[in-house]
């Protein structure tokens, strides 16, 4: 097992006040090596919140999040940095590309903390991925010169560049037309099978969800 969530709860606001809202209520989840799971659920049900907790961008109020046997809450700063940079690929709902960098620079950015410059292998891998999702020609453009769907595909390539063990993707096909959504779904599927990457994908797309091994619904703080 690569990831296990044990009774994870998270709320927003002050628990003593009326504005408090419990978003996740004792969530349990298990993800195995190479397994692909989809999480669906209404807007505001807590899907992004859940991914942020697993991605260590936010902290749970209670419960345990165990990645390869260790509770991530117990990680040292060094372990956290390694986890985020090398073991995890995160595709954000609103992609978060660096506006001053080109598409090419954006996708190679995660390589820099451990290599200083991207080598031949990384560049070949980046080219392969960019061609695969059809944005190789746009590689010298900046995010402001790209369409929303092109930015989203860039974000997916960036998440794959370090060949992580786990990918968390928040609506990766949300801004794409049918053809490009299908392309991206195929890429995610193909790469995760080939590289043995586990996938947790938040999606409203029935097409994408149907290609995962398991589909969960998040509703009223519960995963079903």
Ligand X SMILES: Nc1ncnc2c1ncn2[C@@H]1O[C@H](COP(=O)(O)OP(=O)(O)OP(=O)(O)O)[C@@H](O)[C@H]1O
24/159 with CB nearer ligand X: 24
Report if residue 128 touches ligand X, rule: CB under 6 A.
no
Q: Does 48 bind ligand X (CB under 6 A)?
A: yes
- Name which of Mg ion, ligand X, none residue 12 binds, using a CB cut-off of 5 to 8 Å depending on partner kind: ligand X
Q: How far is the CB of 50 from ligand X (least distance, A)?
A: 7
15 sits near ligand X (criterion: CB under 6 A): no
Cβ proximity of 1 and 30 under 8 Å: yes
Does position 23 interact with ligand X (CB under 6 A)? The reply is yes
Residues in 63-122 at the binding interface with Mg ion, rule: CB under 5 A = 93
Report CA-CA distances (Å) from 121 to 36, 115, 117, 125, 143.
Answer: 26, 12, 11, 6, 24
Interaction between residue 43 and ligand X (CB under 6 A): yes
- The dihedral over CA atoms of 41, 45, 48, 52, expressed in degrees to the nearest 10, equals -130
> What is the per-residue binding string for ligand X in 92-111, x denoting contact by CB under 6 A?
-x------------------
185 touches Mg ion (CB under 5 A): no
Q: How far is the CB of 153 from Mg ion (least distance, A)?
A: 19
In this complex, which beta carbon is closest to Mg ion, that of residue 93 or of residue 222? 93
| Nearest-approach distance from CB 15 to ligand X, in angstroms | 13
The least CB distance from residue 48 to ligand X, in Å, is 3
The CA-atom distances, in angstroms, between 182 and each of 25, 33, 69, 79 are 33, 24, 34, 35
Residue 147 phi/psi, 5-degree rounding, is -75, 165
Residues making contact with Mg ion (CB under 5 A): 48, 93
Residues making contact with ligand X (CB under 6 A): 12, 23, 41, 43-49, 93
């Amino acid at each position: 097992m690569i990831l296990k969530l044990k009774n994870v709860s998270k709320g927003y606001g002050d628990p003593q006040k009326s504005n408090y809202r419990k978003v996740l209520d004792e969530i349990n989840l298990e993800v195995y090596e190479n397994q692909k799971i989809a999480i669906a659920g209404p807007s505001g049900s807590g899907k992004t919140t859940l991914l942020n907790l697993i991605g260590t961008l936010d902290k749970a109020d209670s419960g345990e999040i165990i990645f390869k046997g260790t509770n991530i809450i117990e990680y040292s700063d060094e372990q956290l940095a390694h986890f985020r940079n090398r073991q995890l690929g995160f595709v954000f709902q609103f992609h978060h590309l660096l506006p001053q960098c080109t598409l090419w620079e954006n996708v190679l950015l995660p390589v820099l903390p451990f290599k200083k410059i991207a080598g031949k292998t990384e560049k070949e891998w980046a080219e392969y991925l960019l061609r695969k999702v059809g944005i190789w020609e746009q590689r010298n453009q900046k995010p402001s010169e790209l369409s929303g769907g092109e930015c989203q595909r860039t974000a997916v390539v960036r998440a794959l560049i370090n060949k992580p063990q786990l990918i968390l993707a928040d609506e990766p096909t949300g801004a794409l037309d049918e053809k490009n959504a299908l392309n991206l779904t195929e890429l995610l599927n193909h790469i995760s099978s080939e590289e043995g990457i586990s996938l947790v994908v938040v999606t409203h797309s029935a097409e994408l969800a149907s290609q995962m091994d398991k589909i969960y619904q998040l509703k009223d703080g519960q995963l079903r």
